[in-house]
């Protein structure tokens, strides 16, 4: 089955022809399967934001192609526009994008641009607000009267209201407290499961990727340097650290255990896995 | 002489949520003493009042009820404001919002220049500040071309140039990648341990305050917990009840305890946590 979205030898150069010329993406072959939950990690400046802005046609390739369901997204203006609604992109700190008089109007912006009828727009707004956990009473308020967390959720609802088949989120939990992070990730997981949507999560939070992602890619200097399951990626702690990235704290605990001579699996990265590994350790039960 | 650098007494603060709404009180009578030279972490869910509290520490906000003293100076007296701002500097979340110049050393010189210090004095303060944050080699670079972590270190240097006794940092690493976060936290640690500057760090990243002297947890405008990192982070259920969480290391030990294993909950660092679990496994083997 063809990937829902992929890039072929995608290259992007900022400030071409000037002294500040910078090769942000270097012939990148990226792909995401329909319905998968994909995590992207990489140091600041590795090309993450550039890559995701190509996936919904906000940026144009300097060379290479971007394909949605096998078709070049730059083949025609019409197709290019349609991709904007099928691939929803939530930027970092999306609450800065809110602009309308009411939350309802702000969330309906996308569906309105899709040419939907008022009844359908209304349905989508309520559905999207429900997905992100915003009560109906919030909808008639001004976005600027909401708390930071509510504004964040309103902005994400604005993208979800378009029912994108691919939902891309750039550090959606940045700046939220642990409870807010947990809730938002639950909502994203909900959207993923309910709609079979493909979710691409760019994050610095290793614990989040460990919990949610089916597959991960690591970007470094404009190239994909690693790709695999979280288990495979987090097993390569030294390599990640040399790329100025980290492994989840639980993985650090287990690496240290191995260093102390305790025979435990290397690729443990969630608390649940850690608990099982410790309690079911080969060589005897801890309750002997 | 009293070594309290910041003291609050029955501190209340309110603000109006929107034009036509009544005032909402966000701090309900905070009593706090911060010791000079200490490293204090402040945690709390969004909306708990921690940023509001921090802004009282250098008179950005003034109390509606109660008092705040910085180095013995009452923050509500306008004649003290300049001295207070020289004593306590603040660093905020967004590095880009704190940079004002095109050249790193000019940005760091901003405050001393505005205070009219002589040129040699400014030069010395800028150099000292940049060395303290390990950015001296980049002093002639353009700030906007630096990484997030480097920009935040410049922002910190700009505060250090005032030679404050205390720095308050409000989620300074929220917008940084893991490496940038490490750089900034290490810089703060050096400022505290080597230069003796009081550090008050507001954060959602538990790992940043596991080595602090003291951790304060705020909830709904009140101080809810106050103690050493070991004391605070081992109270897993209490943290979860105020929308926080224990660090993953403690959360793991807590799960093991629930299974009947006798493990301490105060092994916060991964190495310490591993040592505890390793000892447990070897003991039973």
Q: Is residue A44 less than 8 Å (CB to CB) from chain B?
A: yes
Q: Do residue A244 and residue B178 have CB atoms under 8 angstroms apart? A: yes
Q: Up-side HSE of residue A287: CA atoms within 13 Å toward CB?
A: 6
B243 CA to chain A: closest CA distance, Å? 5
* Residue A112 domain-assigned (yes or no): yes
Q: Is residue B196 less than 8 Å (CB to CB) from chain A?
A: no
Dist. CA A88–CA B121, nearest whole Å: 53
Paired tokens of A128: 């999207």
Alpha-carbon A288 to chain mean position: 44
Q: Which of B273, B280, B283 to mutate to test the interface with A (most CBs of A within 10 A)?
A: B273
Task: Residues B4-228: name the CATH superfamily.
Answer: P-loop containing nucleotide triphosphate hydrolases (3.40.50.300)
Cα dihedral value B66, B70, B74, B80, nearest 10 = -140
CA distances from A50 to A11, A12, A207, B174, B273 (A): 10, 8, 24, 21, 38
pLDDT at A287: 45
* Residue A242 domain-assigned (yes or no): no
Which single residue is written with the structure tokens 């614990």?
A207
* Residue A243 domain-assigned (yes or no): no
* Residue A220 domain-assigned (yes or no): yes
The minimal CB distance from A257 to the residues B45, B178, B278 is found for: B278
Would you say the pTM of this structure is higher than 0.90?
A: no
* Residue A231 domain-assigned (yes or no): yes
pLDDT at B273: 96
DSSP A274: H
pLDDT at A1: 64
**In the beta sheet, which residues pair with residue B35?**
B4
Residues of chain A contacting B268 with CB distance shorter than 8 Å: none
Q: Do residue A178 and residue B245 have CB atoms under 8 angstroms apart? A: yes
Check whether residue A80 and residue A41 sit in a common domain: yes
Q: Is residue B178 less than 8 Å (CB to CB) from chain A?
A: yes
pLDDT at B18: 64
Check whether residue A131 and residue A230 sit in a common domain: yes
Domain boundary among A191, A211, A235: A235
**Is A199:A165 a contact under the CB 8 Å cutoff?**
no
pLDDT at B95: 82
Q: Is residue B285 less than 8 Å (CB to CB) from chain A?
A: yes
Check whether residue A21 and residue A43 sit in a common domain: yes
Check whether residue A120 and residue A217 sit in a common domain: yes
Nearest CA in chain A to B178: A245
* Residue A159 domain-assigned (yes or no): yes
Q: How confident is the model at residue A288 (pLDDT cuts 50, 70, 90)?
A: very low
CA distances from A119 to A100, A105, A116, A136 (A): 19, 14, 8, 16
Residues of chain A contacting B175 with CB distance shorter than 8 Å: 92, 174-175
Check whether residue A205 and residue A279 sit in a common domain: no
* Residue A90 domain-assigned (yes or no): yes
**In the beta sheet, which residues pair with residue A279?**
none
Check whether residue A24 and residue A140 sit in a common domain: yes
What proportion of chain A, given as a percentage, has pLDDT over 70?
97
CATH number at residue A125: 3.40.50.300
* Residue A285 domain-assigned (yes or no): yes
- pLDDT tens for chain B, 285 residues long, are 479 999 999 999 998 766 666 788 999 999 999 999 999 999 998 889 999 999 999 999 999 999 999 999 999 999 999 999 999 999 988 888 888 999 999 999 998 998 889 999 999 999 999 999 999 999 999 998 888 888 999 999 999 999 999 999 999 998 888 888 888 999 999 999 999 999 999 998 888 999 999 999 999 999 999 999 999 999 999 999 998 999 999 999 999 999 999 999 999 999 999 999 999 888 766
Check whether residue A141 and residue A231 sit in a common domain: yes
Number of domains in chain A: 2
The A residues from 257 to 276 touching B (CB cutoff 8 Å) are 257, 259-262, 271, 274-275
Check whether residue A134 and residue A80 sit in a common domain: yes
**Is B95:B148 a contact under the CB 8 Å cutoff?**
yes
Check whether residue A34 and residue A126 sit in a common domain: yes
Check whether residue A20 and residue A114 sit in a common domain: yes
Each domain of chain B, given as residue ranges in start order, spans 4-228
pLDDT at B1: 46
Residue A254 lies in domain: 248-288
Q: What is the pLDDT of residues A153-171, one digit of tens each?
A: 999 999 999 999 999 999 9
**Is B70:B6 a contact under the CB 8 Å cutoff?**
yes
pLDDT at A286 over 60: no
Q: Do residue A262 and residue B281 have CB atoms under 8 angstroms apart? A: yes
Check whether residue A277 and residue A155 sit in a common domain: no
Paired tokens of B1: 């002489």
Check whether residue A100 and residue A198 sit in a common domain: yes
Cα dihedral value B96, B98, B100, B106, nearest 10 = -110
């Amino acid at each position: 089955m063809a990937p829902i979205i992929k890039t072929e030898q995608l290259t992007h150069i900022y400030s071409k022809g000037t002294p500040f010329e910078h090769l942000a993406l270097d012939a990148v072959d990226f792909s995401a399967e329909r319905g998968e939950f994909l995590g992207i990690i990489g140091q600041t400046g590795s090309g993450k934001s550039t890559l995701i802005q190509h996936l919904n046609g906000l940026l144009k390739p300097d060379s290479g192609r971007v394909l949605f369901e096998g078709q070049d997204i730059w083949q025609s203006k019409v197709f290019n526009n349609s991709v904007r609604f099928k691939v929803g992109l939530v930027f970092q700190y999306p609450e800065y994008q809110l602009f309308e008089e009411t939350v309802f109007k702000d969330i309906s912006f996308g569906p309105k641009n899709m040419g939907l009828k008022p009844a359908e727009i209304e349905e989508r707004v309520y559905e999207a607000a429900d997905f992100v956990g915003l009560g109906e009473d919030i909808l008639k308020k001004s976005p600027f009267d909401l708390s930071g967390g509510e504004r964040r959720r309103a902005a994400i609802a604005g993208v979800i209201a378009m029912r994108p088949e691919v939902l891309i989120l750039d550090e959606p939990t940045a700046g939220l407290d642990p409870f807010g992070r947990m809730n938002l990730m639950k909502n994203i997981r909900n959207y993923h499961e309910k709609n079979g949507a493909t979710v691409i999560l760019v994050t610095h939070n290793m614990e989040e990727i460990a919990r949610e992602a089916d597959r991960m890619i690591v970007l470094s200097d404009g190239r994909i340097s690693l790709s695999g399951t979280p288990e495979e990626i987090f097993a390569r702690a030294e390599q990640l650290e040399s790329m100025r990235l980290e492994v989840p704290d639980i993985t650090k605990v287990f690496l240290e255990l191995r260093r102390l001579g305790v025979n435990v699996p290397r690729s443990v990265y969630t608390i649940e896995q850690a608990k099982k590994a410790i309690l079911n350790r080969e060589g005897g039960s801890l309750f002997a | 002489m009293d070594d309290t650098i910041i003291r609050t007494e029955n501190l209340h603060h309110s603000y109006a949520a929107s034009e036509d709404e009544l005032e909402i009180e966000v701090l309900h009578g905070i009593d706090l003493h911060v010791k000079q030279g200490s490293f204090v972490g402040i945690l709390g869910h969004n909306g708990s009042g921690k940023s509001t509290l921090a802004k009282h520490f250098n008179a950005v906000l003034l109390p509606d009820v109660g008092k705040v003293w910085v180095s013995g100076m009452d923050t509500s007296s306008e004649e003290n404001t300049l001295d207070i701002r020289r004593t306590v500097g603040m660093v905020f979340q967004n590095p880009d919002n704190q940079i004002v110049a095109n050249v790193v050393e000019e940005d760091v010189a901003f405050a001393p220049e505005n205070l009219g210090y002589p040129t040699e004095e400014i030069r010395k303060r800028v150099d000292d500040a940049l060395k303290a944050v390990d950015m001296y080699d980049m002093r002639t670079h353009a700030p906007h071309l630096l990484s997030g972590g480097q920009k935040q270190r410049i922002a910190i240097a700009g505060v250090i140039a005032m030679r404050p006794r205390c720095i308050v940092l409000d989620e300074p690493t929220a917008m940084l990648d893991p490496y940038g976060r490490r750089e900034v936290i290490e810089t703060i640690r050096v400022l505290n341990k080597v230069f003796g500057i009081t550090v008050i760090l507001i954060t959602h990243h538990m790992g940043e305050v596991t080595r602090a002297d003291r951790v304060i947890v705020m909830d709904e405008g009140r101080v809810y917990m106050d103690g050493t990192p070991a004391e605070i982070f081992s109270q897993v259920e209490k943290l979860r009840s105020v929308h926080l969480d224990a660090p993953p290391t403690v959360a793991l030990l807590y799960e093991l305890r629930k299974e009947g294993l006798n493990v301490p909950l105060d092994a916060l660092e991964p190495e310490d946590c591993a040592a505890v679990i390793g000892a447990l496994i070897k003991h039973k083997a």
